Amino acid sequence: MTLLDIALKNVTRDWRTYILHFVNCLFSVTVFFLFCSLALHPRMSSISMASTLGLLTTLAEAVVAVFAVGFVSYSQGCFLKARSAQFGLLMLIGMSKRQRRRLVLAEGGVIAAAALAGGLAA
């Protein structure tokens, strides 16, 4: 059984814990791609970056990007804090810190892939 198999089983078995994190990631991805698709619209290319509207668009793009990264980071922190008891149990059965990090990364990859697919579809 590989680490990815364990991560997939964790996600499907304990889906209630993962669903909030998934929804947060999905919301961030949807907002970011919605703004990017509006900012890259062909009619927006006629706006000069030196104009007020161009500067506001650039500022809004930076704010949306910071919001998306911050929201996902905060969600990940809360998610890991809620799972601290599970991590303690994994330490008791002999899982190393490196293996736990890889497990969290694999679970995050599964959530991120699903949120990215859902966000692009939305």
pLDDT tens figures, 58-98: 888 888 888 888 888 888 888 888 888 888 888 888 888 89
Gap between the Cα atoms of 42 and 25, Å rounded? 28
Tell me the per-residue pLDDT of 27-60, one tens digit each, with 9 for 90 and over.
888 888 888 888 777 877 777 777 888 888 888 8
Tell me the per-residue pLDDT of 8-19, one tens digit each, with 9 for 90 and over.
787 788 777 778
Question: What are 5's two structure tokens?
Answer: 């198999």
Tally Cβ neighbours within 10 Å of residue 7: 20
